[in-house]
Amino acid sequence: MHLNEAAQKTGVGVQLTWEPFFLNPNMDEAGEDIMDHLRNKYGDAAVARYGGDDNPLSNAGRACTPPINFKNDRFIYPTHKAHAVMEYLKSIDAREDSNKLMRVLFRKYFEEGKNINSKEVIKAAIDEIELKEPEKALEAADNKELIALVSTKDAEFKHKLRVSGVPFFIMHRNDGGRATGFSGAQPADLLGEQLEEAAQE
Q: What is the pTM of this model?
A: 0.88
Q: Give the pLDDT confidence score for residue 135 in this predicted structure.
A: 97
Element containing residue 71 per DSSP (H, E):
none
Residues 84-132 pLDDT 10s: 999 999 999 999 999 999 999 999 999 999 999 999 999 999 999 999 9
Q: Give the pLDDT confidence score for residue 190 in this predicted structure.
A: 82
3-class SS shares of the chain: helix, strand, coil, % to 5: 55, 5, 40
Say yes or no to pLDDT of 1 above 70.
no
Total residues found in the chain within this entry? 201
Residues 6+ apart with CB under 8 A from 129: 97, 100, 101, 104
Residues 63-85 pLDDT 10s: 887 889 999 899 999 999 999 99
Say yes or no to pLDDT of 189 above 70.
yes
